[in-house]
Amino acid sequence: MIDRQSMVEQSVVDYAKAALAVRGYAQGAAYVMEDDFIDHVHEEFEQNVISIGFDFDDDGTQAETGSSLTLRTYTIEFMVFGTTRAFARNIAAVMKFALENEGTIPLKDYEQDGDPEIDRMVVLGASTERQRVDRPEPWQEHMYLTTVRVEDTYYAALV
């Protein structure tokens, strides 16, 4: 069984990848790394890389008296490592605007064939900032962080 938090994270990642591809950043222009970034920190990247950073949530709040309806906010970070500062900044900004474009992101059920959309998550905001590192390693020279916050509403008793 895939837990809901994993479905939320994967849905956001898949949405971001599709949005980047539509905007001209296919896997060749910006590689989205889905394995542990820590395994690659010794490498100098020869292409733009987007790594899924931390993902965390608040403790959720009861949305309705007398029921298990819950609102939970997830924060998901994408670290963008560019071959140049301009590429990194541009990819980070494209991601930010793509993630907040529709105002919602589909939540998919990865346990069912075809990964059907089972709900929509509200995008509460997306931001981008440059990450500065004193005496950076080569892969840290052009680094940006794009953060998206989404709200998931669900019945806790059914999860």
Q: What is the pLDDT of residue 25?
A: 77
Q: Which superfamily, per CATH, for 4-158?
A: Phage tail protein-like (3.30.2000.10)
Q: What is the pLDDT of residue 51?
A: 84
What pTM value is reported for the model?
0.86
Segment of 39-43, 64-68, 155-159 carrying the highest mean pLDDT: 64-68
58 has pLDDT over 60: yes
Residue 156 CB-half CA count within 13 A: 13
Q: Residue 84 burial by CB count (10 A; 0-12/13-18/19+): exposed, middle or buried?
A: exposed
Q: Where are the domains of the chain?
A: 4-158
38 has pLDDT over 60: no
Q: What is the pLDDT of residue 72?
A: 95
